[in-house]
Amino acid sequence: MTAPRTDISRMPRGGFDASLLDRLLQTGLSEYPDRDDADPQLRRQAIEGQEWTDRMLHTHQRVAQCVLDAVAERPDPTVLELGAGRGELSRLLLADHPTLTVTVSDIDPQAVAALTEGPLRAAHRARVRLLDATDLDAGDDEFDVAVFAFGLHHLSPTGAAQMFAEATRVAREVIVVDLSRPPSPLHLVRLAFVAPLAPVIPFLHDVMISSLRSYSPSAIRTLVAAAAERSGTEIDVEVGRLGPDVLVRARRSRVA
């Protein structure tokens, strides 16, 4: 595992070993849904564009299958979804597993209110909670799996390391799926196509911001190493791919 540096907050999104070009390809700007000052119409259009893309690419189905595979040998698995948004992933998990229970959480009170009043309200195997992924109000090993889908790039390096520390504390296995960070030349080509349309198409604005905020595999390993150092434990991590996205599996080394 990559050794953490003293000041993780200064780590580039491409990692401490990122090239100069890769270090330039990042931003401190936020996507429309994360901005309190954003026009509600822009936020809605950005969200609708992302939801349409997820449906077309079967994104939630791929993540759900990954979680189901992780709990396949457990008779009554417990799952914590972090940053659940509208809860589509949790709905799929409940539909595809007859005994699975899920705690559906988000840091946004409005999102939690919508989840509480939405389809999950009638699901007796679901519990909706307001939770901060970097400071989880949950017991050690309370869940079999914690899953965080497409939220890692929203967090600062410090926040992301804290999320890994907390998630591996409350769950026996942590699954994180996020945008993959392309090599710098390909990243430049992607941005060249997207940037001219970003000012007029909210979804593409957020695609550009998300791409610039995404973490490389090297950076993710450093984040997990920092989480282990912070929590005083060993954390095993695997960084791979799930379709076009990056897949991270992390778990604390526990004494049998």
DSSP states of 96-132 as a string?
A: H-SS-EEEEEES-HHHHHHHHHSGGGG-TTEEEEE-B
Are 168 and 231 in contact, with CB atoms under 8 Å apart?
yes
Q: Give the Cα separation of 138 and 121 in Å (integer).
A: 21
Strands (E), 3-142: 78-82, 101-106, 126-130
Q: According to the model, what pLDDT value does residue 119 have? A: 84
pLDDT at 255: 55
Segments making up each domain of the chain, as ranges: 8-29+58-181+215-252
Could you give the CA distance from residue 7 to residue 1 in angstroms, rounded to a whole number?
Answer: 17
* Packing angle, helices 40-57 and 202-213, rounded to 10: 70
Per the document, the length of the chain is 256
User: Residue 62: which H helix or E strand, with range?
Assistant: helix 59-70
Task: Look up the CATH superfamily of 8-29+58-181+215-252.
Answer: Vaccinia Virus protein VP39 (3.40.50.150)
Q: Are 175 and 148 in contact (CB under 8 A)?
A: yes
Measured in degrees and rounded to the nearest 5, phi and psi for residue 13 equal: -65, -25
The amino acid at residue 137 is D
- Of 229, 220, 215, 211, residue with least CA distance to 250: 220
Q: Under a CB-based contact definition with an 8 Å cutoff, are residues 93 and 72 in contact? A: no
Q: DSSP for 181-245, please give it.
A: PPPHHHHHHHHHHHTTTTTT-HHHHHHHHHHHHPPPHHHHHHHHHHHHHHHTS-EEEEEEEETTE
From the CB of residue 242, how many other CB atoms can be counted at a distance below 10 Å? 18
Separation between Cα atoms, residue 108 and residue 105, nearest integer Å: 9
Cα gap 212→169, rounded to integer Å: 29
Tens-binned pLDDT, residue by residue, of the chain (256 aa): 545 555 899 999 999 999 999 999 999 999 999 998 999 999 999 999 999 999 999 999 999 999 999 999 999 999 999 999 999 999 999 999 999 999 999 999 999 999 999 888 878 999 999 999 999 999 999 999 999 999 999 999 999 999 999 999 999 999 999 999 999 999 999 999 999 999 999 999 999 999 999 999 999 999 999 999 999 999 999 999 999 999 999 999 865 4
